[in-house]
Amino acid sequence: MVGRHAARSRRAALTALGALVLTALPSAASAAPLPAPGAQPAAVRTPAPAAPSARMLRAMERDLRLSPGQAAARLANEQEAGTRAGMLRNTLGDRFAGAWVSGATSAELTVATTDAADTSAIEAGGAKAAVVERGLAELRSVKEKLDASAVRVRTRQTPVWYVDVKTNRVVVQATSRSAADAFVETAGLAGRDVGVRISAKQPRLLTDLVGGDAYYINDQARCSIGFGVTKDDQQGFATAGHCGDPGATTTGFNEAAQGTFQASTFPGKDMAWVGVNSDWTATPDVKGEGGEKVQIAGSVEALVGASVCRSGSTTGWHCGTIEQHDTSVTYPEGTVNGLTETTVCAEPGDSGGPYVSGTQGQGTTSGGSGDCTNGGTTFYQPINPLLSDFGLTLKTTSAAAGTPAPPQDNAAADAWTAGRVYETGTTVSYAGARYRCLQGHQAQGVGSPESTPALWQRV
């Protein structure tokens, strides 16, 4: 695995890792953006996205096979779709069964419900309705039974399982039908509860090849820097949990003393963070396509089907789409739950690097299969659970450039708090009003609920 057992390798050309950024322009592409819902008040419209860099758009066009102009349109559509999906999710409640975007420019948003009577409301919200049998909560309860079973049995022949909102089922990826059937039976589930995908692919941790800007663990092995973070006055960076144990020391790409692993979780999750010494400063900057410096503004979770790009120390900047969230993966070293599966390629040495959708950080590379010559599948550890578990604050351009939100006027237990990670549907109080979260994210100090209608809906 990365950072624990491999011999150290050195090369002169190293490229820094961090949170790669895509920003979105108002659509000027051939495909139309998502239709505006007829009853939606102006106050809940998403703000105009910032201009993306030309290099990043070219990388999306290359990897997603888009024509010139489609990448910017896609990012703008995905930003707006996330807000609409959050509003509809809160409206549907237990009937909500998932949401995803589709099409070359993500111009179509689909929201699934278990009740056909919701169709009109979904269409009025600017989305296509899909009526399905099971709500998202029921699907997750099925997956949780598989998660529990994986603690008791070996799952190398059933290395991946996840909730697939597009097909409204839980899917097990297995090397054979018999292996899948045995895993499902051990979990106490019936065949109709779980779909099976037969594949010979065996995910592994992406380890031990020198690529771009790296850091070294205990002067023996290496990993890649993910996102800049802070905890109180301590600066540092997020990375993959399999890179090192708490207390392991790190040196930077320049071989200078750097920091110490403050916390690490692997397996189960694949998350860690390193606290650095005063010679290093956490920033929102990352080297992207062609070494261009880019930045992130937050950690709003992207929808299934959305575009996502990754920076890695071996293969650099590559893009793809999100296949599904809440995926469980068994590596030789153990099972990790709660990962996100993508179509982005990666190779050994890319582990720990960041995934970004638009201007929003998504997670850090865990592992995968395939390569960037023939294509592959990768999984990332979502950044919001990492921030929440370790009590970290993501370093963003928003905090650096904005005006802090006004202080709270009450001490309510559910008062909105900057730095806290909020899940979709969470209700908070702020300035005498109540708001419901539309998209999972870490609250930035410059963006109160009343000033971020793309993330909060007043109730």
Amino acid letter, 88? L
C-beta neighbour count of 180 within 10 angstroms: 23
Catalytic residue (choose from 224, 351, 357, 369): 351
* pLDDT band, very low/low/confident/very high, at 140 (cuts 50, 70, 90): very high
In this predicted structure, the answer to whether residue 214 has a pLDDT above a threshold of 80 is: no
Rg (CA), the chain: 21
pLDDT value for 215? 80
Average model confidence (pLDDT) across the chain? 84
Catalytic residue (choose from 149, 193, 242, 285): 242
Q: Which of 2-16, 357-371, 402-416 has the highest mean pLDDT?
A: 357-371
pLDDT value for 212? 36
pLDDT value for 31? 37
* pLDDT band, very low/low/confident/very high, at 296 (cuts 50, 70, 90): confident
Positive or negative: CA dihedral 429, 122, 24, 15? positive
Distance CA 188, CA 166 (A): 24
pLDDT value for 410? 57
The 3 state secondary structure assigned to 317-375 is EEEEEEEEEEEEEEECCEEEEEEEEECCCCCCCCCCCEEEECCEEEEEEEEEEEECCCE
- Is 264 an annotated catalytic residue? no
In this predicted structure, the answer to whether residue 320 has a pLDDT above a threshold of 80 is: yes
Reading the block at residue 396, the tokens are 């963003």
Candidates 130, 208, 121, 209; CA nearest to 166 is: 130
pLDDT value for 249? 95
Candidates 139, 127, 125; CA nearest to 95 is: 139
Distance CA 330, CA 160 (A): 6
pLDDT value for 401? 54
Strand order in the sheet with 257-265: 221-224, 214-217, 249-251, 257-265, 271-276, 234-239, 228-231, 393-394
If you average pLDDT over residues 9-22, what whole number do you get? 24
If you average pLDDT over residues 372-389, what whole number do you get? 96
pLDDT value for 408? 56
| Residue 366, CA distances (Å) to 62, 231, 362, 443, 452 in order | 24, 23, 12, 25, 31
pLDDT value for 409? 53
* pLDDT band, very low/low/confident/very high, at 32 (cuts 50, 70, 90): very low
| Residue 95, CA distances (Å) to 40, 229, 458 in order | 21, 37, 21
Q: Which of the pair, 263 or 359, is modelled with greater confidence?
A: 263
If you average pLDDT over residues 211-228, what whole number do you get? 78
In this predicted structure, the answer to whether residue 42 has a pLDDT above a threshold of 50 is: no
Q: Which of the pair, 265 or 23, is modelled with greater confidence?
A: 265
In this predicted structure, the answer to whether residue 341 has a pLDDT above a threshold of 50 is: yes
In this predicted structure, the answer to whether residue 430 has a pLDDT above a threshold of 50 is: yes
- Is 242 an annotated catalytic residue? yes
Entry pTM: 0.80
* pLDDT band, very low/low/confident/very high, at 95 (cuts 50, 70, 90): very high
Q: Which of the pair, 303 or 295, is modelled with greater confidence?
A: 303
pLDDT value for 406? 59
| Residue 260, CA distances (Å) to 27, 170, 276, 298, 389 in order | 44, 39, 7, 25, 18
Lowest mean pLDDT among 47-56, 171-180, 243-252, 297-306: 47-56
- Is 178 an annotated catalytic residue? no
If you average pLDDT over residues 125-140, what whole number do you get? 96
pLDDT value for 19? 24
Q: Which of the pair, 51 or 64, is modelled with greater confidence?
A: 64
Q: In the Cβ-directed half-sphere of 299, how many Cα atoms lie within 13 Å?
A: 34
If you average pLDDT over residues 158-163, what whole number do you get? 94
C-beta neighbour count of 423 within 10 angstroms: 13
pLDDT value for 422? 97
In this predicted structure, the answer to whether residue 245 has a pLDDT above a threshold of 70 is: yes
Candidates 232, 226, 243, 244; CA nearest to 283 is: 226
pLDDT value for 200? 87
If you average pLDDT over residues 73-88, what whole number do you get? 95
Reading the block at residue 402, the tokens are 């904005």
pLDDT value for 116? 97
pLDDT value for 10? 27
If you average pLDDT over residues 399-403, what whole number do you get? 55
pLDDT value for 26? 28
* pLDDT band, very low/low/confident/very high, at 147 (cuts 50, 70, 90): very high
In this predicted structure, the answer to whether residue 35 has a pLDDT above a threshold of 50 is: no
Sort 418 into a burial class: Cβ within 10 Å, 0-12 / 13-18 / 19+: middle
